[in-house]
């Protein structure tokens, strides 16, 4: 999918739903488990209602370690950032796309109105239904920081 023109800003609702999804998702170290989780659980929550659901279809992860000071002592901070690249709009357990007005209202709910959808020929994960891909907003991301344990200092 061409994601060269993602929507620039995500809504608070979408940011909060994405953060909640990421808090429960398996680590990127477990790629297969993470992909299964993202294919199964949507941004709508654990018990979604309605005919449409929004999933993370593709994501980009970045891990880095930066030096930092804690109480004037040098330490290291691990920073893990996940950014969705492509989202999937799924017409739950239906072989065809939802009516355009239904899709438009649903996307507006998420602050994604006016975004081009690219219908896909295959069904969503495990016959989940018709789906179309759309670019994720460029500012939609999840970031987690963890202070690494102190390195033991060698005695001189």
> In whole angstroms, what is the distance from residue 42 CA to residue 40 CA?
7
* Count of CB atoms situated within 10 Å of the CB of 150: 11
Model pLDDT for residues 62-89, shown as the tens digit of each residue: 999 999 988 888 999 999 999 999 999 9
Higher pLDDT, 51 or 73: 51
Class of residue 123 by CB neighbours under 10 A (exposed 0-12, middle 13-18, buried 19+): middle
pTM: 0.85
Model pLDDT for residues 34-45, shown as the tens digit of each residue: 999 999 999 999
- What residues contact 34, with CB distance under 8 A and at least 6 apart? 25, 26, 27, 28
Q: Which helix (H) or strand (E) holds 118?
A: strand 118-119
């Amino acid at each position: 999918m061409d994601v060269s023109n993602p929507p620039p800003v995500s809504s608070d609702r979408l940011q909060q739903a994405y953060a909640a999804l990421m808090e429960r998702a398996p680590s990127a170290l477990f790629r297969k488990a993470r992909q299964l989780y993202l294919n199964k659980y949507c941004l709508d929550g654990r018990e979604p209602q309605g005919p449409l659901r929004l999933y993370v279809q593709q994501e980009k992860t970045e891990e880095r370690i930066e030096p930092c000071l804690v109480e004037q002592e040098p330490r290291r901070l691990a920073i893990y950032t996940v950014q969705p690249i492509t989202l999937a709009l799924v017409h739950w357990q239906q072989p065809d796309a939802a009516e355009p007005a239904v899709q438009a209202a649903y996307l507006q709910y998420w602050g994604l109105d006016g975004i081009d959808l690219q219908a896909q020929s295959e069904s969503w994960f495990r016959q989940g239904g018709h789906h179309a891909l759309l670019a994720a907003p460029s500012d939609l991301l999840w970031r987690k920081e963890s202070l690494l344990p102190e390195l033991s200092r060698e005695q001189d």
